[in-house]
């Protein structure tokens, strides 16, 4: 077994109530690393298309990233993988916090849950001691209460806990798995699958070491990474109000669902920035980081009930969705979502969707139990969020996500349901952002949460002199041949150069697939314009930890293997080119954005898809070709697709 790995996985059959400790496979670890990669391999083998999201055979896989539990800065990610009830596709949700490191220190790399329990249970992992326990006394408790009660019951203040709240128990499609501080696995119905299995919580305490192959070289590299991260503290974290406004409010459509331009929006945003900064410095109690992270990107606040909540930039999305530009509303709204265990983005989107339908006359007071749905109304937002969590009235319909809710409501509601392959949009401004449209089409988790390659929005230097300095100082984290795109291409948001756009996004997809398997937080990579870690450095981290001969080229091959495996899984589920094209809502092609943005054109977007497929080695339907699968070492995938009649050995890439 390579260094860096505990070497043991846990197999938990909830139907039988059995626990088995299974040795890890060194070949799978070398080929897929961990987290997203090893989880995807298990999903391919054990969850075929015949298995539905609510089937006992659907797995809930909790995997630690390869580098978690070591000194690598920012390596703290837990990956939870399952077939999503929202998309009916392969789905995974990453989160930071401390769980993955604790799991490794307890001596385990992955926990695989199968089956369904007849009564609520929780899993307690205390080093070598592993047991399923009765959780009926926890059922109905909030995520805050559950974590407090478990630590008290187990007499383990240091235990790291994953749990669901009321939304997960009620199989709300928006349900999340909550951890802390401010860490959750939220998108795609993670908590819904966990609740369906009657698994209330997972608690872990570990006291073992995680060994590394070359500690001295790893220490030197970790110190270099930390030195490179200092600037981001100044640019991003130490000026949180500006960051929140830039990364939160800029997600706005700049128009609400009905297409009306927000009045005096720019002035409101500036005022919001001043108010947010004043509010945060007055009310936050501390900055908070995940395991072994110097970023401290989250800010802790207390609710009136005494619960601690944690906010960062993306958590300001509810302001955009509800048009309630008030930071105290955000604190209260996010606290409610964390308490019930709900994805605040999907809930915010559902509120906006319902309000829009009400304003259009598609929904009436009869449909909403007498509730009047209004923009800029905290009462509307909180009432609908409560109804979703409890599956009451209109909330029971909205709890299945906008795609399914629209079809239940009918009356033309389908024309106003914005989603990516059935997943609620986490933002609206796709219609004039070519790179966001491409991400929406190609993301392998059917959402934009990872932002797989949102780099262009994280502003690069603009002048030629600044760009040359940026490259010279080693901040450009892309291959050298990409420098020409930075120096010469037009703005890819407004006047997209198709080649550079596709090349950047293909590279970003590899970068974040590699990070999600290694357990490295995106904030340390190309997510930021000044990334402390580039791919060569991440490959060195993997080599120094494991002792495996992994260089940048091999890391790239592993990333491509994982991308092609997940794509093949979803192809096996029926995904084709039209699904990719339709992932961008129709309104994106119909609206004309304000200057200097340019409209998204269907013909242009089709050319973007063609070129992206070509770079990835997929055919015109988006199916990885036999040659691509062979190059990725996925012969078992090729055989399966061929047997199902999906893949022809003569298939060749576009071009």
Q: CB atoms < 10 A from the CB of 266, how many?
A: 9
Given a contact cutoff of 8 angstroms between Cβ atoms, the answer to whether 545 and 101 are in contact is no
The number of distinct structural domains making up the chain is: 3
User: Could you give the CA distance from residue 225 to residue 203 in angstroms, rounded to a whole number?
Assistant: 31
241 and 195 both lie in a single domain:
no
Residue 648 lies in a domain: no
Residue 631 lies in a domain: yes
pLDDT confidence tier of residue 217, bands split at 50, 70 and 90:
very high
Instruction: Tell me which of 424, 443, 468 is where a domain ends.
Output: 424
What residue has token string 């929406």?
Answer: 440
417 and 442 both lie in a single domain:
no
Average pLDDT over residues 189-206: 98
**Percentage of the chain surpassing pLDDT 90?**
65
Beta strands (DSSP E) in 327-439 are 419-420, 423-424
Q: CB atoms < 10 A from the CB of 603, how many?
A: 7
256 and 193 both lie in a single domain:
no
Residue 2 lies in a domain: no
pLDDT confidence tier of residue 427, bands split at 50, 70 and 90:
low
Average pLDDT over residues 322-336: 82
439 and 495 both lie in a single domain:
yes
Residue 655 lies in a domain: no
Q: What angle do CA 583, 53, 318 make, to 5 degrees?
A: 50
Each residue of 429-446: pLDDT tens digit? 554 578 778 888 998 876
Long-range interactions of 598-606: CB distance < 8 A, separation 24+: 598/432, 598/494, 598/495, 598/496, 599/431, 599/432, 600/430, 600/431, 600/432, 600/433, 600/434, 600/437, 604/434, 604/496, 604/498, 605/434, 605/437, 605/441, 605/581, 606/581
The pLDDT value recorded for residue 445 is: 79
Q: Which residue has the higher pLDDT, 569 or 321?
A: 569
Which of 29-33, 237-241, 350-354, 516-520 is predicted with the least confidence, judged by mean pLDDT?
237-241
What residue has token string 């940026």?
Answer: 470
Average pLDDT over residues 557-570: 98
12 and 152 both lie in a single domain:
yes
Residue 37 lies in a domain: yes
Q: Which residue has the higher pLDDT, 378 or 494?
A: 378
Q: Does the pLDDT value for residue 422 go beyond 50? A: yes
116 and 253 both lie in a single domain:
no
Instruction: Tell me which of 424, 446, 473 is where a domain ends.
Output: 424
Each residue of 71-114: pLDDT tens digit? 999 999 999 999 999 999 999 999 999 999 999 999 999 999 99
Q: Does the pLDDT value for residue 263 go beyond 50? A: no
User: Could you give the CA distance from residue 150 to residue 622 in angstroms, rounded to a whole number?
Assistant: 46
Local structure of 160: helix, strand or coil: strand
Q: Which residues of 501-530 are buried (b: 16+ CB within 10 A; e: fewer)?
A: bbbbbbbbbbbbbbbbbbbbbbbbbbbbbb
pLDDT, mean over the chain:
87
Most confident of 36-45, 347-356, 459-468: 36-45
User: Could you give the CA distance from residue 438 to residue 498 in angstroms, rounded to a whole number?
Assistant: 11
411 and 455 both lie in a single domain:
no
546 and 398 both lie in a single domain:
no
Residue 47 lies in a domain: yes
363 and 446 both lie in a single domain:
no
CATH of the domain at 445: 1.10.599.10
Residue 651 lies in a domain: no
Residue 530 lies in a domain: yes
Residue 203 bridge partners (DSSP): 124, 161
539 and 464 both lie in a single domain:
yes
465 and 404 both lie in a single domain:
no
Q: Does the pLDDT value for residue 450 go beyond 70? A: no
504 lies in which domain range? 434-643
Average pLDDT over residues 575-594: 86
Instruction: Tell me which of 168, 185, 205 is where a domain ends.
Output: 205
Q: Does the pLDDT value for residue 205 go beyond 60? A: yes
119 and 83 both lie in a single domain:
yes
User: Could you give the CA distance from residue 298 to residue 352 in angstroms, rounded to a whole number?
Assistant: 26
């Amino acid at each position: 077994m390579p260094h860096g790995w505990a070497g043991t996985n846990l197999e938990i059959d909830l139907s039988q109530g059995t626990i088995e400790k299974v040795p890890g496979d060194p070949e799978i670890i070398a080929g897929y690393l961990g987290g997203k990669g090893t989880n995807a391999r298990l999903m391919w083998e054990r969850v075929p298309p015949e298995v539905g999201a609510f089937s006992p055979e659907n797995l809930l896989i909790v995997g630690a990233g390869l580098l978690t539990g070591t000194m690598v800065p920012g390596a703290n990610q837990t990956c939870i993988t399952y077939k999503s009830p929202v998309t009916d596709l392969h789905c995974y949700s990453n989160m930071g916090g401390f769980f993955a490191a604790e799991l490794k220190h307890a001596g385990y790399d992955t926990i695989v849950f199968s089956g369904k329990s007849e009564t609520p249970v929780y899993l307690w992992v205390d080093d070598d001691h592993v047991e399923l326990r009765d959780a009926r006394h926890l059922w109905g408790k909030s995520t805050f209460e559950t974590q407090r009660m478990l630590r008290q019951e187990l007499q383990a203040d240091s235990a790291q806990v994953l749990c669901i709240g009321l939304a997960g128990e009620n199989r709300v499609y928006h349900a999340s798995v909550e951890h802390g501080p401010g860490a959750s696995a939220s998108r795609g119905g993670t908590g819904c699958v966990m609740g369906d299995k009657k698994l209330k919580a997972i608690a872990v305490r570990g006291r073992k070491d995680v060994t590394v192959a070359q500690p001295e070289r790893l220490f030197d590299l970790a110190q270099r990474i930390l030195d490179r991260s200092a600037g981001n503290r100044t640019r991003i974290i130490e000026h949180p109000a500006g960051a929140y406004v830039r990364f939160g409010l800029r997600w706005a459509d700049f128009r609400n669902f009905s297409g009306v331009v927000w009045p005096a929006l720019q002035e409101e945003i500036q005022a919001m920035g001043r108010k947010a900064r004043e509010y945060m410095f007055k009310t936050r109690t501390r900055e908070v980081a995940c395991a072994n992270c110097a970023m401290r990107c989250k800010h802790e606040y207390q609710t009136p009930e005494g619960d601690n909540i944690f906010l960062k930039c993306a958590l300001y999305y509810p302001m955009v969705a509800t048009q309630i530009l008030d930071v105290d509303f955000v604190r209260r709204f996010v606290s409610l979502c964390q308490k019930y265990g709900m994805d605040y983005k999907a809930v915010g989107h559902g509120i906006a969707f319902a309000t829009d339908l009400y304003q259009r006359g598609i929904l009436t007071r009869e449909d909403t139990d007498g509730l009047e749905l209004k923009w800029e109304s905290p009462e509307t937002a909180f009432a609908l969020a409560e109804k979703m969590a409890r599956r009451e009235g209109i909330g029971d319909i909205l709890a299945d996500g906008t795609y399914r809710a629209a079809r239940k409501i009918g009356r033309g509601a389908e024309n106003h349901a914005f989603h990516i392959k059935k997943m609620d949009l986490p933002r609206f401004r796709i219609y004039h952002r070519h790179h966001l449209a491409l991400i929406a089409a190609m993301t392998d988790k059917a959402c934009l949460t990872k932002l797989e390659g949102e780099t262009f929005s994280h502003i690069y230097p603009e002048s030629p002199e600044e760009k040359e300095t940026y490259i010279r100082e080693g901040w450009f984290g892309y291959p050298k041949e990409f420098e020409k795109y930075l120096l010469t291409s037009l703005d890819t948001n407004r006047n997209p150069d198709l080649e550079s756009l596709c090349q950047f996004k293909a590279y970003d997809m590899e970068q974040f697939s590699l990070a999600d398997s290694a357990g490295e937080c995106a904030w340390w990579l190309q997510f930021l314009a000044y990334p402390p870690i580039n791919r060569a450095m991440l490959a060195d981290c993997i080599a120094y930890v494991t002792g495996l001969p992994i260089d940048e080229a091999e890391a790239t091959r592993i990333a491509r293997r994982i991308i092609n495996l997940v794509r093949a899984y979803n192809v096996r589920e029926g995904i084709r080119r039209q699904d990719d094209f339709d992932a961008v809502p129709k309104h994106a092609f119909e609206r004309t954005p304000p200057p200097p943005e340019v409209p998204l054109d269907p013909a242009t977007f089709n050319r973007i898809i063609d070129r992206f497929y070509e770079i990835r080695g997929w055919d015109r339907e988006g199916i990885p070709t036999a040659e691509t699968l062979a190059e990725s070492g996925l012969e078992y995938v090729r055989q399966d697709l061929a047997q199902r009649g999906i893949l022809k050995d003569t298939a060749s890439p576009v071009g």
